Chain A
Amino acid sequence: MPFLDSLEPGQDATIISFETEKLPLKLIEMGCLPGNKVCLLHKAPFNCPLYLEIDGCHMAIRKDVAALIEIEHN
């Protein structure tokens, strides 16, 4: 299964699951929930951080956190 850090700019995906223990609660509170749509809008230089739109909410996270989120390509 691919993870969120493998997404390329402009690609869409659906969140399948995440590593419960490690993922910060704040991210879940901002809408990073299984079943929600995620789109990678931009990557900063050197591929980090990632600028995402998750369920209509815009945010930036680092690559190591993105690697905790399992996705399915749309």
Chain B
Amino acid sequence: MAHYIKVALIGNPNTGKTSVFNALTGLNQKVGNYPGITVEKKEGRCRLDRTTVAQILDLPGTYSLNASSMDESVVIELLLNRNNKDFPDLVVVITDIENLKRNLLLFTQIKDLGIPTLLVVNMADQMKRKGIQIDIEKLQEKLGTQVILTSMRNQEGIATLKKAIIDYRKLPSTPLLELESIDKDYFQQLKKAFPTESIYKLWLVITQDVNFSKVERNRIQKSPDFKIESDAALKRLQQKETIRRYQIINDTLKQSYHVDQNAASDWRSRLDRVLIHKVWGYVFFFALLLLIFQSIYDWSSVPMDLIDSSFAQLSEWVNTKLPPGLFTSLLAEGIIPGLGGIVIFIPQIAFLFLFISLLEESGYMSRVVFLMDRGLRRFGLSGKSVIPLISGTACAIPAVMATRNIENWKERLLTILVTPFTTCSARLPVYLILISLVIPEKTFLGINIQGLTLMGLYLLGFVMALLSSWILKKYFKTTHKSYFVVEMPNYKMPLLKNVGITVLEKTKSFVTEAGKVILAISILLWLMASFGPGKDFSDAEAIVKQQATKQLSPAVLEAKIAAYRLEHSYMGILGKAIEPVIRPLGYDWKIGIALISSFAAREVFVGSLATIYSVGSEEETPIKNKMAQETRADGSLIFDLPTGISLMLFYAFAMQCMSTLAIVKKETNSWRWPMLQLGLMTIIAYVSAFGAYQFLS
């Protein structure tokens, strides 16, 4: 029978907490539906010895127990609530050797809660380069805990850490700070009113605005022996507490931690001189973006073509090898093309997540925040909006979640509202297939026009996001004062393992989440296309033969019958019903079906067209070839330039993602904002697609 220890990992952002988590759990971890680097709840397991298993919870990065964002509230809500099922037996505080002083603030707070607490001093590999000397013995004595020096880069200290977790019961639980030393009268009064409770916990309940503590807070408020002070007075006490904690930390480090400035070699200032330069900084950033988008386009085209043609071959194989019938038809014409429409995403999504996680891991993202803050504020956004706007190119869902560290509510709300305009990876397959159909494969000044068009669509997304934020900001009042504090971490070589796990996890969860929707929709579409009401559908063969005036070849006749059947299926009827609305945009009823089905999720578009064009088609050719052969009643090609551009604009602006709407509702706590998004974005999409089609044709 294994024995379980619940361990919580806590630390400041940029201390390598995630790498410690990865080192302990490896791939043995579970992430919520849409992981953000430190946003979602991450859990994992680690076998410590033959009989002991650690259940490890990776909590969001936080600078202190004084929560100033939703992510930080998660940490304090857990640590104050012993009844929470995740309440840890042991807290492991992860610190970065170079910023040990600041990192220890959080440690002293957690230690004072009376939970057994271990201290990990991470990034020990930086010691020599930064000229740091550390006296572990002294540090342990002063802080009253075991201190473990680790380096995830060199894989050092992990075994010691595991051993220390097993022995957690031996850790002393004496607090470091006597609260009475901050304000004798106030805290003695509190103690007198609640003699049996920890006053530090009570103090946190008083000062922190977290979910469950409202009840507790009322309890304290009702006490006849104690009066909660005004907010300003509380804030003064919190400041005093922080100052006192730093005194203790300074005193501790004076005896145990030394930095030889002369030995320190400094990459930071050399890189900063270029990367945040007022000209070169921006040149570098935009060149980097161009490089990223170009490489996503180039590198993923080969695996994508491969996936596309293999799925076509698979359908063909199913069709020829299995006995004909409904099941074969469902498999070959419904499920396989539908799944192909999602698997084809994997290369692009993986590359996008790869680049984004490299930008975050290296410390460069903070420089971009610094560079862009002033400019973005003009549009009502914050420098920190850069992270959601860039991650929005992968998927709007983690991007909306990443807005949580924007402190100002107005800037945060605007970022949430405009982020869905950025070109997410779900739009990519739609763009790629349309570009390859309607944009000539030529070069202009040595640059591939197709690639340039794609770049243009990305830019269009960003421009639209900024423009709409600029308009919307006039309608929002600032309710509270803004403040903006960004840590500028050291530049680091990204750890391959971290990047790898991030890419793997995110791609996996994206594909499975989107896959479920797409699979369901493709089956539904196949059903709707394979059945129909009335004689027009069931007697299609006879009707077509009757209408034929001259002798037709069997192949032409077959195609005519299939087309007639599709037109009179349930799907055909639905498509025809909406045709009047979409005809001015240049779409026929088949595109209409794909459009409707993709209102749940954009990426369904290609899969739907694949299903629609597969039903009744004789040979299994890649979807692109089928689209290129589609014609209107007058014989002209459906996917010509005006329709192609109109469709691209529609997909650029329309809010076709139920998951995003759901997450916006969750993050803003109201249906008002997602509904506003849906309404405005659909109108903008319709009007611009209409304008483009009418102008071009």
Contacts and interface: CB of A to CB of B under 8 A. Distances in A.
A33 B239 CA distance: 9
A49 B383 contact: yes
Contacts of B371: 44-45
B236 A20 contact: yes
A15 B483 CA distance: 19
B246 A58 contact: no
Nearest to A42: B276
Contacts of A24: 68, 407, 483, 485
Contacts of B481: 22
Contact of A58 (B101, B383, B489): B489
Contacts of B675: none
B316 interface: no
Contact of B246 (A31, A49, A59): A31
B102 A58 contact: no
B223 interface: no
A30 to B, nearest CB: 6
Nearest to B243: A33
Interface secondary structure of B, over-half rule: helix
B239 A20 contact: yes
Interface string A1-45: 000000000000000000011101111111101000000011011
A28 to B, nearest CB: 5
B89 interface: no
Interface residues of B, number: 40
Contact of B484 (A42, A51, A65): A65
Interface in A34-70: 41-42, 44-46, 48-49, 51, 55-62, 64-65
Nearest to A55: B101
Contacts of B488: 51, 58-60
Given A29-B63, A58-B489, A49 B105 contact: no
A58 B487 contact: yes
A62 B483 contact: yes
A44 B239 contact: no
A40 B101 CA distance: 20
B486 interface: yes
Interface string B6-37: 00000000000000000000000000000000
A56 B99 contact: yes
Given A44-B370, A45-B374, A56 B101 contact: yes
A60 B232 CA distance: 25
B485 A30 contact: yes
B479 interface: no
B483 A65 contact: yes
A26 B235 CA distance: 12
Contacts of A33: 242-243, 246
Given A25-B242, A30-B63, A46-B374, A20 B484 contact: no
Contacts of B536: none
B484 A31 contact: no
Interface residues of A, number: 30
B169 interface: no
B68 A26 contact: yes
Nearest to B282: A45
A28 B278 CA distance: 29
B243 A41 contact: no
Most buried by B among A55, A59, A64: A59
B373 A48 contact: yes
A62 to B, nearest CB: 5
A64 B484 CA distance: 10
A41 to B, nearest CB: 7
B269 interface: yes
B105 A29 contact: yes
B328 interface: no
B408 to A, nearest CB: 10
Contacts of A25: 64, 66, 68, 235, 238-239, 242
Given A24-B483, A44-B276, A59-B486, A49 B370 contact: yes
A26 B243 contact: no
B268 interface: yes
A49 B272 CA distance: 15
A45 B484 CA distance: 17
Given A26-B68, A30-B102, A59 B276 contact: no
A54 B272 CA distance: 17
B235 A44 contact: no
Contact of A31 (B101, B232, B268): B101
B278 A45 contact: yes
A56 B96 CA distance: 13
B370 A28 contact: no
B101 A51 contact: no
Contact of A62 (B99, B102, B232, B373): B373
Contacts of A29: 63-64, 66, 102, 105, 242
Contact of A44 (B68, B366, B374): B374
B489 A44 contact: no
A59 B482 CA distance: 17
Contacts of A30: 63, 102, 485, 487
A47 B383 CA distance: 14
Contacts of B527: none
Contacts of B105: 29
Interface in B461-499: 481-490
Contacts of B68: 24-26
List the 4 closest A-B pairs by CB distance, nearest first.
A58-B488, A24-B483, A60-B486, A45-B278
9 contacts: A22-B481, A29-B102, A29-B105, A42-B272, A51-B488, A56-B99, A59-B487, A61-B483, A62-B484
Interface of B: 63-64, 66, 68, 99, 101-102, 105, 232, 235-236, 238-239, 242-243, 246, 259, 268-269, 272, 276, 278, 366, 369-371, 373-374, 383, 407, 481-490
